[in-house]
Amino acid sequence: MILYEVTLGVEPSLESRVEDYMRSRHIPAIWATGCFRDIHFYRAASGTFRTAYAADTEAELERYLRDHAPTMRAEFLAEFPTGAALTREVWRERQRWGEG
């Protein structure tokens, strides 16, 4: 499994708007691409959000990054041109314990 994680640090004045946008528009649009087996959205008390997108194969992640990510990123930037800092990481599973 491949895990694509996006961590988003948000200014306090934007926290509510960003969470609403992520839950009602951004993540559902990414889910609709069919590139991921599941998506988890987390919020830390500090106003930091993390979204974990799980793909079964490297090819599915590559398809998302090539065919969909540019549009999704542009839409997010148009909605929140300032006040949000993002980091992106790709994790490749090495071993699993328990149910996945």
What residue ranges do the domains of the chain occupy?
A: 10-92
Q: What gap in Å lies between CA 30 and CA 13, rounded to an integer?
A: 25
Q: Per-residue pLDDT for the chain (100 aa), expressed as one digit of tens each?
A: 999 999 999 999 999 999 999 999 999 999 999 999 999 999 998 889 999 999 999 999 999 999 999 999 999 999 999 999 999 999 999 998 987 6
Number of Cβ within a 10 Å radius of residue 82: 8
Q: What is residue 86's three-state secondary structure?
A: strand
DSSP annotation of 61 reads: H
Q: What gap in Å lies between CA 45 and CA 27, rounded to an integer?
A: 20
What does the chain come to in residues? Answer: 100
Q: Are strands 48-55 and 84-92 parallel, antiparallel or unpaired?
A: unpaired
Q: What gap in Å lies between CA 31 and CA 68, rounded to an integer?
A: 11
pLDDT at 100 (0 to 100): 61
Element (H, E) at 52: strand 48-55
